[in-house]
Amino acid sequence: MPDKFNLEHDGLILRHADKNWIPIDNHHAFSLWLTEVEKIAKDAYKKGINVILIAPIPVFRGIPSERKPKDELCVKEWFRPIIPKECLGLFREERSVLASRMENINKALSALEATNKNIHIYKAFDFLCPQRLQDCTTYLNGIRIYRDDDHFTAEGSLLVGSHFLDFTTKPGLTRRQAK
């Protein structure tokens, strides 16, 4: 892809830069990325290959509770059947706020999917933060799925991995004949 992200060049830290190391803003970088993904998808389509893109997952902002116990105390064990309440609110954010931060990205991904038969979007957001909830947290059904604001725990990775594998069994997703 022609753009570069979070790289050092000539002693400067660049958040986004084009192929000539010219700094660009987030929107321009995203636009370049979408263009390149579409090119890749078109080439893949000619070869009978599907492309799976992963939509954004919840990323929490803010500072976790100061009274947070050590990580090992925030896991269910046979001798600790209940997770301390101090662990449950490590990060908590309104579902609507999290969803709105990703809205533009999700709309662009959906547009790509709608115009390219071989692009499929894996959306884990509703799995990680079910629609029935007003707030999203770093726990799901009593299992700690995030170790911090944006990294999964081992348990979280296994849950999302299993959910992703279920997604890949969608008819026609993993195998497609070239036209």
Show me where the domains of the chain are located.
Answer: 1-46, 50-179
| Percentage of residues in the chain having pLDDT higher than 70 | 79
First to last CA, the chain: 26
Q: Residue 92: which of 68, 72, 71 has the closest Cα?
A: 68
Which whole number is the average pLDDT over 124-132? 96
The mean pLDDT of the chain is 84
Task: Compute the distance between CA of residue 144 and CA of residue 83 in angstroms, rounded to an integer.
Answer: 10
> How confident is the model at residue 70, as a pLDDT?
67
> How confident is the model at residue 147, as a pLDDT?
83
CB count, 10 Å around CB of 116?
18
Q: Tokens for 94, please give them.
A: 């309104």
Q: Is the pLDDT of residue 1 over 50?
A: no
The residues that bridge with 16 in the sheet, in sequence order, are 5
